[in-house]
Chain A
Amino acid sequence: KAGVTQTPRYLIKTRGQQVTLSCSPISGHRSVSWYQQTPGQGLQFLFEYFSETQRNKGNFPGRFSGRQFSNSRSEMNVSTLELGDSALYLCASGQGGSYNEQFFGPGTRLTVL
């Protein structure tokens, strides 16, 4: 099975712009989660989608949003970018149950100038 794929792998934006990141889960996985990794904070949970519904949301401002499509692919959008949004954004897919592992993609490295 192919793993989780994320596009693009690298992105450079300027403050005030918006960005959309894409994630394709492992075939058969219906749950997609997004995490932000920064050197000081580790991996922070953004949100989780299952069958096109957001089931969980982390403590991030409303500038961070996402959606999931009927084929389980997911997108994450960040509007009005700030310097502090520079991070590695990781997508993970899973079966969606409480005791299921999540499998991560390689991440998108976002740099905000």
Chain B
Amino acid sequence: DQQVKQNSPSLSVQEGRISILNCDYTNSMFDYFLWYKKYPAEGPTFLISISSIKDKNEDGRFTVFLNKSAKHLSLHIVPSQPGDSAVYFCAASFSGGSNYKLTFGKGTLLTVNP
């Protein structure tokens, strides 16, 4: 039962354009969401997060949008740069009980073409 889904295995965009990566979740208990970027042979690097009390969080070129009613979040990268080419993982957690784990999607490979 996959609780966090990234339905697009890959995405290709031109340098300077917007990249939009999507993520859906099924567990309504999730109230904290994160995006990580991963290069080959390295561990995931934290990018940006959002709690369920917000619908938008922005950090430089990266903006995450959360639509709780649709159980959907997206990561916007503007403008996209070739160095952004990596696998992007969406992750979720909830604050209740003794849950301290992150549940990850399977990732989306972003390729930014010069």
> Interface on A for B, CB 8 Å cutoff?
4, 31, 33, 35, 41-45, 48, 50, 55-56, 58, 90, 92, 96, 98-99, 101-107
Chain A at the B interface: SS class: strand
Q: A4 and B43 in contact (CB under 8 A), knowing A98-B32, A98-B95? A: yes
- Nearest-CB distance from A39 to chain B (Å)? 9
Output the nearest chain A residue to B41 by Cβ-Cβ distance. A106
Of the listed stretches B15-23, B45-53, B68-76, chain A binds B45-53
> What are the 3 tightest A-B residue pairs by CB atom distance, in nearest-first order?
A104-B43, A98-B95, A42-B106
B43 proximity list for chain A (CB < 8 A): 4, 90, 92, 104-107
Chain B interface size, under 10 / 10 to 19 / 20 to 34 / 35 or more: 20 to 34
Beta-carbon contact of B93 and A98 below 8 Å: yes
Minimal Cβ-Cβ distance residue in A for B42: A106
> What residues on B are CB-neighbors of A56 within 8 Å?
98-101
